[in-house]
Amino acid sequence: MRTRGARLGAARADAPSLPTREVILDAAERLFSAYGVDGVAVRDLARELGLTPSSLYNHFPGKQALYEAVLERGLGPIVALIQASWRHGELRRDTVAATVDGMVTHLTQHPHLGRLVQRALLEDTDSVRALITRSLEPLYREGVAVVGRAATSAGWARDEVPHLALGLFGLVFSYFVNADAMRRLAAWGTDAVDPAALAVQRRFLEKAIFRLLGPRQSRARSVRRTRREHG
């Protein structure tokens, strides 16, 4: 039977030729998503990268600092995209398309991020919980702010905003979290990160988000246009 160390080292040969810090963060993102914070030791990560633990400490002072760096790299660009989506005031179709494109591109480049965030939300260690709260709070705050601004014109009640924000969070991340399972169930014939599949996912998210958050008149026109196009 293969040891856990052997499993962790199996992908070492596939490590991309990137700056050492990025290689470390890529490996840590994948391992943390698979085993959680408590399930990954520094020596596991060092073995994965062909480093000594002391060499790894030259880049990050400890596992918590490494975990925080993974979250910051993964979530920071998403927060920035959400902030930019409201620059023009009313939510517009072109800004929705640009935001969706940025998110899908980022999550494609970090395919383990969705699962890492999902696992992080279930962590029960106090120190990890505090870190997760601190890391995810900006994402939640910005998401709720954008949803809240659009809620009235989109026909939502104020007390529905947190529920709507949570639903949109699931729409964006679930594709990457569940891609392997859906492929095993033959839900689609291509790999989840195949360009054709990603194009469909972008189109789906654009339509879903605009129909949920776009002004009601704009959404009504969009529905009528779609009905005409499809007979």
Buried b / exposed e along 70-103 (16+ C-beta atoms within 10 A) = bbebbbebbbebbeebbeeeebbeebbbebbebb
CB-neighbour burial class of residue 2 (10 A; exposed 0-12, middle 13-18, buried 19+): exposed
Indicate if the alpha-carbon torsion angle 76, 203, 181, 105 is positive or negative.
negative
**Whole-number pLDDT of residue 10:** 45
Instruction: List, for the chain, all residue ranges whose pLDDT scores fall below the cut of 70.
Output: 1-19, 87-90, 186-189, 217-231
Nearest Cα residue to 168 out of 139, 138, 134:
139
From residue 20, alpha-carbon distances to 16, 26, 28, 94, 129 in Å are 10, 10, 12, 37, 28
Nearest Cα residue to 112 out of 40, 208, 163, 58:
40
**Whole-number pLDDT of residue 188:** 63
State the Cα–Cα distance between residues 26 and 186, nearest whole angstrom.
28
**Whole-number pLDDT of residue 125:** 80
**Cα 138 to chain centroid, rounded:** 14
Residue entry with tokens 């383990």: 112
**Whole-number pLDDT of residue 130:** 83
State the Cα–Cα distance between residues 63 and 75, nearest whole angstrom.
18
If one counts every other C-beta atom within 10 angstroms of the C-beta of residue 46, the result is 18
**Whole-number pLDDT of residue 191:** 80
Phi, psi dihedrals of residue 228, rounded to the nearest 5°: -65, -40
Indicate if the alpha-carbon torsion angle 208, 171, 162, 139 is positive or negative.
negative
Read off the pTM.
0.80
**Whole-number pLDDT of residue 229:** 55
Q: Which residues, including other chains, have CB under 8 Å from residue 1's CB and lie 6 or more apart?
A: none
Nearest Cα residue to 110 out of 164, 58, 172:
172
